[in-house]
Amino acid sequence: MSERLQPGDTAPAFTLPDADGNEVSLAAHKGRKVIVYFYPAALTPGCTKQACDFTDNLDVLAGAGYDVIGISPDKPEKLAKFREKESLKVTLLADPDKTVTESYGAYGEKKNYGKTYMGVIRSTVIVDEEGKVERALYNVRATGHVAKIIKDLGI
């Protein structure tokens, strides 16, 4: 199980393909705050709600200096379908081998209906302008999470 990040840690660098196959790196966002969120699967109810919440609040977050990146194990083609179907505006990145997800502590043991298995832990990491972890939130809820982030950040 991967280590969870703590405030003050350096956010692990990454470069992953987006829904169009273009490489996107965390380094390209230096100088801006970035909300990096990890979700289990595109086109599922909870993940759709969360992605739509981020899209609906993107102007508010961007206005406060935050970029939003969603990362899942899905392939770019599935992310493109997800983006089109739900009219998403957030940047969606593919991490099929889960290397980045693990480096952020967002992959590990989960329990569902009494079964224990390994999977993506719904998580949000807020990275500051210098690439340091400002906040690391694990096992977050799909609904209401974006509103809580906005409130907690005082936006």
- The upper half-sphere exposure of residue 19, i.e. CA atoms within 13 Å in the direction of its Cβ, equals 17
Tell me which amino acid residue 95 is.
D
Say if residue 46 is exposed, middle or buried (CB neighbours under 10 Å; 0-12, 13-18, 19+).
middle
Which residues are part of the catalytic machinery? Answer: 47
Comparing C-alpha atoms, which of 76, 81, 79, 100 is closest to residue 17? 76
